[in-house]
Structure 1
């Protein structure tokens, strides 16, 4: 199972967990396993077929946009990080 790290803003949708495990051989499979247990995460991460452009997703610290996107391979010892983009300022 891959380890999925959740940014603080996502933790309330995952029962307060900082990190959870999820099964799958691709990022898409890992995310679907995550959504089956924490449905509220789907709206924040992947409201459409593709990932939200406001969420950065990394597999082992590599941005999946520069890999194979949702088809990026994920191994049992890999770490997936979900990090919503933050904006602010004046």
Structure 2
């Protein structure tokens, strides 16, 4: 199980839930499980505005990045710059 912390607009879309424990071996499994647990997050997940931080390292599009057991995972809104 990994501990997942939601922040910003992601937390708002999840109805204010800030932390969850999810069984997932990679980022794709994590996002799929999260969508099942919190269906209101589907639009946020589909628009690709989420970055995933695993134990302090941010991953943006590496959906098959392994998540080690007992990892600390943060889902954060992506920031656009220009």
TM-score bracket, shorter-length normalisation:
0.7 to 0.9
User: Does 2:54 correspond to 1:59?
Assistant: yes
Q: Which runs of 4+ in 1 moved over 6 A?
A: none
- Is the contact between residue 27 and residue 73 of structure 1 (CA under 8 Å) also seen in structure 2? yes
TM-score normalised to structure 1 length: 0.74
Q: Deviations over 1:64-89 (max 9, x none)?
A: 14xx71101012211221111357xx
Q: For residue 25 of structure 2, what is the aligned residue in structure 1?
A: 25
Q: Mark the runs of 5 or more structure 2 residues left unpaired by the alignment.
A: none
The number of residues matched between the two structures is: 81
Q: Mark the runs of 5 or more structure 1 residues left unpaired by the alignment.
A: none
